[in-house]
Amino acid sequence: MQDTSLEESSTLLRRALRFSEFGEYAAAKDVLKTAIQSHPTFAEGWFALGSIHEKIDEFDKARECFGQAASLNPDWTDPLVSLGKLEFKLKRYKEAKAVLQRYLELDGIDTDVLVLLARSAFQLEDCKTVLSTTSKIVDLDESVFEAWELRGLCHAKMGNISPACVSLNMALELNPSSTTSLNGVGDMCYNSNNFAGAVECYGPSLKKRKKQPEILFRYGTSLWLLDRWSEAIPVLEQYTEQVPDDPAGWNNLGVALREKGEVVRARDCYKRALQINPELEEPRNNLETAMNKQVIL
């Protein structure tokens, strides 16, 4: 009796998959529900039904079906992969991490799936899991740049500068266009007062993706700390356009203008910074200095 119901459910599954191929999702769902009613422990049916629900954005039902399929067949990785991807897409990183760790425990070796596990852990600031997972990925395939990138970012968070540099530079060798890796190396340089190194990373990053306010600020600030005033000014002007309510941006722009000799514009920038936050000492001191300075223009 059980074998007969399983055979009937398998036949219904094939019919449902054909419906799905032609976009007949309602019909596919009806057929799959019939298959599951006939054989409630039919894991393949639950998995297929979950896939249909996901295609039509019924995410809660999809999660339920994938979970049911995984519980019915604990050694089957497909439901875990689909559920983990869905949880990540929904920004449910804790749930995604838990599901994808089960995939890893079943000796899953798909590096794309393992990268998703590492990314979930990174969102949760779980660097221990990121490092262990990316180590597994690198053992499987050294050319997965995201593994090196995530390793580098986590090492940087943990203050492990040397391994962070090694990993992020490896990521850049594999994918020179990664703004995340460029910014990661740039941030380490900036935080260690290596402003020339920061400029070398932030510049290419901004060419690839212009709207990065925090990177614009650090890039412009690095330039003026290197006495490259003429280059710093347009960068800091862009920053103040993107983030007009940040007094630090106006203050730094004022400093760059003052050093270039544009004292009147510098005063206006200091005043703008103080309008935003009258309690700041640095722009106030800079303004007093500028007011006592002869206008060069």
Query: What are the respective helix, strand and coil percentages of the chain, to the nearest 5?
Result: 80, 0, 20
Task: Please name the residue that has the structure tokens 């007969």.
Answer: 4
> In the prediction, which pLDDT does 293 show?
66
Has residue 146 been placed in a domain? Answer: no
Please tell me the distance from the alpha carbon of residue 245 to that of residue 133, in angstroms, as a whole number. 40
Closest CA to 73 of 96, 113, 102: 102
> In the prediction, which pLDDT does 9 show?
85
Has residue 81 been placed in a domain? Answer: no
Amino acid of residue 6: L
Per-residue burial over 21-47, b if 16 or more Cβ lie within 10 Å, else e, is eeeebebbbebbeebbebbeebbbbbb
The CATH number linked to 44 is: 1.25.40.10
Has residue 215 been placed in a domain? Answer: no
> In the prediction, which pLDDT does 288 show?
87
Has residue 24 been placed in a domain? Answer: yes
The CATH number linked to 275 is: 1.25.40
**Domain stop point among 54, 76, 98:** 76
- For each of the chain's 297 residues, which pLDDT tens digit applies? 445 578 888 899 999 999 999 999 999 999 999 999 989 999 999 999 999 999 999 999 999 999 999 999 999 999 999 999 999 999 999 999 999 999 999 999 999 999 999 999 999 999 999 999 999 999 999 999 999 999 999 999 999 999 999 999 999 999 999 999 999 999 999 999 999 999 999 999 999 999 999 999 999 999 999 999 999 999 999 999 999 999 999 999 999 999 988 999 999 999 999 999 999 999 899 998 878 764 444
> In the prediction, which pLDDT does 297 show?
41
Integer CA distances (angstroms), 227 to 63, 249, 258, 266, 288, in order: 56, 17, 12, 16, 22
User: Hey, is 174 helix, strand or coil?
Assistant: helix
**Phi-psi category of residue 152: left, alpha or beta, with phi > 0 → left and psi -120 to 50 → alpha:** alpha
How many CB atoms are located within 10 Å of the residue 147 CB?
A: 28
**Domain stop point among 43, 76, 109:** 76
pTM: 0.83
Which residue range(s) make up the domain with 277? Answer: 244-297
Has residue 133 been placed in a domain? Answer: no
**Domain stop point among 35, 56, 76:** 76
> In the prediction, which pLDDT does 144 show?
98
Tally of domains within the chain: 2
Has residue 193 been placed in a domain? Answer: no
DSSP state of 295: P
> In the prediction, which pLDDT does 295 show?
46
Has residue 45 been placed in a domain? Answer: yes
Has residue 270 been placed in a domain? Answer: yes
Spell out the residues 6+ positions from residue 177 whose beta carbon is closer than 8 angstroms to its own.
208
> In the prediction, which pLDDT does 95 show?
98
